[in-house]
Amino acid sequence: DQQVKQNSPSLSVQEGRISILNCDYTNSMFDYFLWYKKYPAEGPTFLISISSIKDKNEDGRFTVFLNKSAKHLSLHIVPSQPGDSAVYFCAASGSSGSARQLTFGSGTQLTVLP
C-alpha cells in the first residue's frame, strides 16, 4: 500500500503557464515533505521542502502548499520553463522509527512545451 501517491503520471503545460503537481499521503506520522526533480540518466535532486507546521513554502518560481487535513500537497511552478521538463517526485518522512526514511511517490513526468 503506497503511503505517498502521485496520481498523475504525466502533465503537459505551455511555457510561461503554471504547472501544478499534486501528491497525497496516508501516513499521519509524516511531518516533513519534499519535492525532488529528476532528469534522465541522473539521480534525483532536491527541489523544495515543507514542514508540517507550515502550509506554504516558496523558493523563486517554486511554491509548495500543504493541506494537512486533506493529507495533500502540491507543487506550483510559475512560470514554467522548458528546462523544468523532468520527473518530479514527492517524498515524505516522519520523526521516529522507520518513518524517518524518505518514502517516495511514483513520480509525475512534467513536459513544458515551448
Binding positions for other proteins, 50-109, rule CB under 8 A: 89, 91, 93, 95, 100-107
Least distance between other proteins and beta carbon 1 (Å): 11
HSE-up of residue 75 (Cα within 13 Å, Cβ side) = 29
Task: Kindly state the cell numbers that stand for 13.
Answer: 503545460
Binding positions for other proteins, 29-58, rule CB under 8 A: 32, 34, 36, 41-46, 49
- Strand segments (E) across the chain: 4-5, 10-14, 19-25, 30-38, 45-51, 56-59, 62-67, 72-77, 86-94, 103-104, 108-113
Least distance between other proteins and beta carbon 11 (Å): 16
List residues near other proteins by CB under 8 A.
4, 6, 9, 32, 34, 36, 41-46, 49, 89, 91, 93, 95, 100-107
